[in-house]
Amino acid sequence: MIAHLQRVAPQEGCGLIAFAAGRPGRAVQLFEGTNTERSTTRYNMDPGEVLAALNEMERRGWELGAIYHSHPRSAAEPSETDLAYFYYPDALMVIVSLAGPSPELRAYRVGFEGASVQPVPVRVIE
């Protein structure tokens, strides 16, 4: 995930993470996305890629566990835009900041349209 986001910088990168069904928090597959906004401050994953990823998750019995994106020049904290356009409250929001000397990853449980934001601990496995 971090390599993907570094590769597309300085644009924001994005993608989806599938979790094993019945095992909350256990990532099993990463689906890299294309940011159709081509922006350093906004992202929108290509709808065809989203549909293909969700179909693959359903076929394999996985679930959408997280939506990830990067902040190339700011902290790994949800922006107002991130919160306003987050429509999947069952999935985590994962943000990777590329602003510092090394990437910083944080995850959040976000209520519909940012009604609530709770940090979630993350353990990255190489």
Backbone φ and ψ for 82, nearest 5 degrees, come out as -55, -45
How far apart, in Å, are the Cα atoms of 31 and each of 57, 90, 117? 10, 17, 24
What local confidence, expressed as pLDDT, does residue 22 receive?
Answer: 79
Phi/psi-derived region of residue 114, left when phi > 0, alpha when psi is between -120 and 50, beta in every other case: left
pTM of the predicted protein model: 0.93
12 is catalytic: yes
Structure tokens at 8: 């597309």
What local confidence, expressed as pLDDT, does residue 25 receive?
Answer: 74
Please list the helix, strand and coil fractions of the chain in percent, rounded to the nearest 5, in that order: 25, 35, 45
Active-site choice (12, 32, 77, 113):
12
Name 87's Cβ contacts closer than 8 Å, sequence gap at least 6.
112, 113
Name 29's Cβ contacts closer than 8 Å, sequence gap at least 6.
17, 18, 56, 57, 60, 62
Q: CA 99 to CA 125: how far, in whole Å?
A: 22
Q: Which domains does the chain have, with CATH numbers?
A: 2-120 (3.40.140.10)
What local confidence, expressed as pLDDT, does residue 99 receive?
Answer: 96
How far apart, in Å, are the Cα atoms of 65 and each of 17, 33, 98, 114? 6, 15, 22, 17
What local confidence, expressed as pLDDT, does residue 126 receive?
Answer: 64
pLDDT in tens, the chain (126 residues): 999 999 999 999 999 999 998 776 789 999 999 999 999 999 999 999 999 999 999 999 999 999 999 999 999 999 999 998 888 989 999 999 999 999 999 999 998 766 789 999 988 776
